[in-house]
Structure 1
Amino acid sequence: MPKHGKKYNTSQKLIDRQSRYPMEEGIDLALQSAYAKFDESVDVAVCLGVNPKHSDQMVRGGVSLPHGLGKQIRVIAFCKGEKEEEAREAGADAVGGEDLVKKIQEGWLEFDKAVATPDMMSVVGKIGRILGPRGMMPNAKTGTVTFDLGKAISELKAGKVEFKVDKAGVVHAPLGKVSFGPEKIQDNLRILLDSLHKAKPSSAKGTYFRALALSTTMGPGVKIDPNSIRKFLE
């Protein structure tokens, strides 16, 4: 069994691990349980009533959070010709094609997100095994494969979150920083959950939001009563 430090154990005493808290109370507890000297990130894990093994029950997409994520997002763009200038003007941290692919193949990964124009995807496909597992692979369904690079880059820089259900039917996503306070975290979470609700596959049956938990970078997880989600979204 892994051992936790005194600060973690003290923080954990604030939370009853057997309880599932109403949404607002759970958010407050998650923020109160943060104890690190740095500004911890706040994350959410949502268990959905879907079976990702079936292609028609895959849940993925992207959503721009109203308060962003509280950190600088480094975005690279795979493009050519006049699109290179558009990407630079939008704030891309690196722009290129084959040269950028080669740089990544050689081990460079100093970026958080990647976008590409559709005509560059055959080139980007060469590094799919590198970008895919890291959640960095451009994808049309999340709006990162597009000829409108200016919009895509601006949204990512502003804190757009991409989500994709994993093999266990869980979506993990960041919500911002502890310093945001409960109201901004509530706003960001409400927009994310609303987007997940809209992305519900028509073939998914039964309860859609099965479980939800909040946590900070160093703090313990706080379980949320899934029955409070509907009221939270109203």
Structure 2
Amino acid sequence: MKTGKRYNEAAKLVDRSIQYDLNDAIDIVKKAASAKFDETVELHIRTGCDSRHADQQVRGAVVLPHGTGKKVRILVFAKGPQADAAQAAGADYVGAEELVPKIQNEGWLDFDVVVATPNMMGVVGRLGKVLGPKGLMPSPKAGTVTMDVEKAVADIKAGKVEYKLDKSNIFHVTVGKASFTQEQLADNFQALINALLRAKPATLKGAYFKSITLASTMGPGVKLNVNKVVG
């Protein structure tokens, strides 16, 4: 794969033969984030899970102590008091059946997260083919199917992130921005790791975390020492 000059310069900061401790990894990632925009810092964790088994399909959400640094646009499917509560909590868009043709036929997707009350899931289900592939379908496990839409919206605005295994049994989760301080990124990292450890499948045999890599949007991956950072 051909890489650009900026990436090649940043890659020189990483010693591929070393597995770094958390503070050193964060330091390198911040230095390597040299794009003209504030790069997102992501955590990529390869696991020993087998998501073909229902009891190893790890999915959930956690509120990061310092947020994600990203303004999140929230769409809430709700009616009546729940719709009013969502509006009051700061949801960007609130609606019901009337949103289906707008999303289905007009391709409207100006939102990052979808929240729905349980009684609206029949309506949201009609949008499965559009929302599903984009990872936007609400889920009880992620706390996005709930009657307490006020709390759901508040948590997401405060920096709630969802974690979910991909088809290769890897987590890809945002932990902040390159402009965050070392401490903020470390706190967010720890909150996420703790949540993932709590979600570890009871049936899993062998290592849960096989490798942990930290990287910014345009920067090289920095491998962490799993034993040190998980303890």
Q: What range is the shorter-chain TM-score in?
A: over 0.9
Q: Which blocks of at least 5 consecutive residues in structure 1 are unaligned?
A: none
Decide which structure has greater helix share. Answer: 1
Is the 1:92–1:153 Cα contact (8 Å) retained in structure 2?
Answer: yes
Q: Following TM superposition, by how much is the alpha carbon of 1:80 offset from its aligned partner in structure 2, in angstroms?
A: 1.1
Q: Following TM superposition, by how much is the alpha carbon of 1:101 offset from its aligned partner in structure 2, in angstroms?
A: 1.8
Is the 1:76–1:113 Cα contact (8 Å) retained in structure 2?
Answer: yes
Q: Following TM superposition, by how much is the alpha carbon of 1:230 offset from its aligned partner in structure 2, in angstroms?
A: 2.6
Q: What's the Cα RMSD here?
A: 1.0
Which residue number in structure 2 is paired with residue 59 of structure 1? 58
Is the 2:193–2:230 Cα contact (8 Å) retained in structure 1?
Answer: no
Which residue number in structure 2 is paired with residue 19 of structure 1? 18
Local SS of the residue matching 1:175: strand
Q: Following TM superposition, by how much is the alpha carbon of 1:39 offset from its aligned partner in structure 2, in angstroms?
A: 0.8
* Separation (CA, whole Å) in 2 of partners of 1:228 and 1:69: 24
* Separation (CA, whole Å) in 2 of partners of 1:23 and 1:143: 29
* Separation (CA, whole Å) in 2 of partners of 1:169 and 1:44: 14
Is the 1:31–1:181 Cα contact (8 Å) retained in structure 2?
Answer: no
Q: Following TM superposition, by how much is the alpha carbon of 1:19 offset from its aligned partner in structure 2, in angstroms?
A: 2.4
Show structure 1 runs of 4+ deviating over 6 A. none
Q: Following TM superposition, by how much is the alpha carbon of 1:115 offset from its aligned partner in structure 2, in angstroms?
A: 0.2
Q: Report percent identity of matched pairs.
A: 50
Which residue number in structure 1 is paired with residue 48 of structure 2? 49
Which residue number in structure 1 is paired with residue 189 of structure 2? 189
Which residue number in structure 2 is paired with residue 223 of structure 1? 223
Q: Following TM superposition, by how much is the alpha carbon of 1:103 offset from its aligned partner in structure 2, in angstroms?
A: 1.1
Letter in 1 for 2:179: S
Q: Following TM superposition, by how much is the alpha carbon of 1:227 offset from its aligned partner in structure 2, in angstroms?
A: 1.4
Which residue number in structure 1 is paired with residue 94 of structure 2? 95
Local SS of the residue matching 2:212: strand
How do 1:90-169 and structure 2 match up within 5 A? Answer: 90-105=89-104, 106-169=106-169
TM-score (norm 2): 0.97
Q: Following TM superposition, by how much is the alpha carbon of 1:109 offset from its aligned partner in structure 2, in angstroms?
A: 0.4
* Separation (CA, whole Å) in 1 of partners of 2:30 and 2:110: 29
Q: Which blocks of at least 5 consecutive residues in structure 2 are unaligned?
A: none
Q: Following TM superposition, by how much is the alpha carbon of 1:171 offset from its aligned partner in structure 2, in angstroms?
A: 0.6
* Separation (CA, whole Å) in 2 of partners of 1:189 and 1:130: 31
* Separation (CA, whole Å) in 1 of partners of 2:168 and 2:4: 30
Letter in 2 for 1:156: I
1:159-213 Cα deviation digits (max 9, x unpaired): 1001111121101100111110211001001000000000001001111111010
Letter in 2 for 1:64: V
* Separation (CA, whole Å) in 2 of partners of 1:197 and 1:207: 12
